[in-house]
Amino acid sequence: MSTVVIIGAQWGDEGKGKVTDFLAAKADMVVRYQGGNNAGHTVVVEGREYKLHLIPSGILYPGKTCIIGSGVVIDPEVLIAELDALGKRGISTSNLKISQRAHVIFPYHRRLDQVEEDRKGDQKIGTTGRGIGPAYMDKSARVGIRMIDLIDEEEFKALLEMNLEVKNHLLTAVYGSEKFDFTEIYGAYRKYAETLSGLVEDVSVIVNEAINSGKNVLFEGAQGTLLDLDHGTYPFVTSSHPSAGAACLGAGIGPTKIDRVIGVAKAYTTRVGEGPFPTELLDETGEHIRAKGGEFGTTTGRPRRCGWFDGVIGRYSARINGLDHLAITKLDVLTGLEKLKICTGYIYRGDVLNEFPASLKVLNECEPVYEEFPGWQEDITGARKISDLPANARKYMERVEQVSGVPVAVIGVGSQRDQVIVVTDLYQA
């Protein structure tokens, strides 16, 4: 297996947590490399559900080193709550390390996220409201506060003073919002710093050492390719890079160290928040999928928009991420539908578009071209090999593979750790 990057091939919530947890059985280390607590990765082990926001999904196995890389933005309050919640459930977090270079989310980032969404009105992005965008803005503007700065009392004081002066001015003068009190934030964050300082390390050294000594390392992406700042449906995207290339930057390794990239996609498509979604189903089939698939956000509880599998997106994700394999999740959710559809291309003003367009104006006008498939009625949640699937489910999966142009290695047939069909053993591939 060696080094495998696991990314979301759609708009997030594809089941990256479950696939990471499944593959982590034979990994030594799991690294989160971008995003923040906008992510919600659900893992179900022996009937117990864990919702992880910042901590890598490998934490559920004892003895795996878990890393939060420099590309992640950390809300320390959320991280500490997550550590406590895992501890209470008997999960050891003693193998967690946090990058010195990861940036920190502050209350003013959350407020700025909210007031900027309010300002946009019906043009809003539908963010998770966790302060992700404003925290990455500060990082790019070179005024952000990193974990290494947070745990240095003097440095932190100076940086917080400088930031708060500007943020308070912005909040009051531009947005008509309220000021934040320095002492309150400083006091709270000094406590967070004390709690977390023992975990803060130069994690690039640790990850490179693991790779160089032949360890199996998984890189767990957050969000999905179509939420990528460069390659997603801009501006309806997140402020980081959920695509595979970011694993290098966000973990502090070179591209030559990556062996394989796995794209996780649902057997259909979902999206939370605003923005275009060509195969969206605004009818009762969409509602049926949402109810059966439990399609409500792990982080915000918002209903997820649901639609058919989109092969244009499959091909696009394959290209952007250099996918070696796909892991298709939630095939079981499609059981019982009489007819299924797969989008193979888009029609734009009478012409077939085979590639995903950059212009949202064009995308909004695109009509999906569908192929129709007969469904299956048999319960597939107990299937463990491809031959256990009904013929119609196999045909559907074959077409998903063909239109995406990427071999399917893993098929999810339920939320439990073992509810998986392994088509290609990724440890051997």
| Residue (of 211, 203, 160, 156) closest to 4 by Cα position | 211
Q: Which stretch binds Mg ion (CB under 5 A): 106-114, 131-139, 275-283, 291-299?
A: 291-299
b (16+ CB within 10 A) / e for 407-424: ebbbbbbbbebebbbebe
Is omega for the bond preceding 235 within 30 degrees of 0, making it cis? yes
**201 φ/ψ angles, rounded to the nearest 5 degrees:** -145, 170
> In the structure encoding, which two tokens stand for residue 180, read together?
């934040």
Pairing of strands 305-307, 269-271: antiparallel
Which of the listed partners (ligand IMO, ligand GDP, Mg ion, none) does 227 bind, with a CB threshold of 5 to 8 Å by partner kind? ligand IMO
List Cβ neighbours of 416 (8 Å cut-off, separation of 6 or more).
44, 45, 47
Closer to ligand GDP by Cβ: residue 44 or 80:
44
Residue 312 to residue 291: CA distance in whole angstroms: 26
Contact 71/31 with Cβ under 8 angstroms?
no
Q: Binding residues for ligand GDP, how many (CB under 6 A)?
A: 22
Tell me the residue number closest to ligand IMO, measured at CB.
Answer: 273
Which of the listed partners (Mg ion, ligand IMO, ligand GDP, none) does 426 bind, with a CB threshold of 5 to 8 Å by partner kind? none
Contacts with Mg ion in 16-45 (CB under 5 A)?
Answer: 40
40 binds ligand GDP per the rule CB under 6 A: yes
In the block, which residue shows the tokens 């933005």? 73
Contacts with ligand GDP in 286-325 (CB under 6 A)?
Answer: 294, 298
Closer to ligand IMO by Cβ: residue 24 or 151:
24
In this structure, the number of other CB atoms found within 10 A of the CB of residue 241 comes to 27
Which residue among the candidates 21, 28, 41, 325 is catalytic per the annotation?
Answer: 41
Is 241 annotated as catalytic?
no
Which residue among 298, 321, 329, 419 contacts Mg ion (CB under 5 A)? 298
Contacts with ligand GDP in 7-26 (CB under 6 A)?
Answer: 8, 12-18
Least distance in angstroms from the C-beta of 332 to ligand GDP? 5
Is 41 annotated as catalytic?
yes
Catalytic positions, please?
Answer: 13, 41
Question: Which stretches of the chain bind ligand IMO, using CB under 6 A?
Answer: 8, 12-13, 38-41, 125-128, 130, 132-133, 222-224, 227, 238-239, 272-273, 298
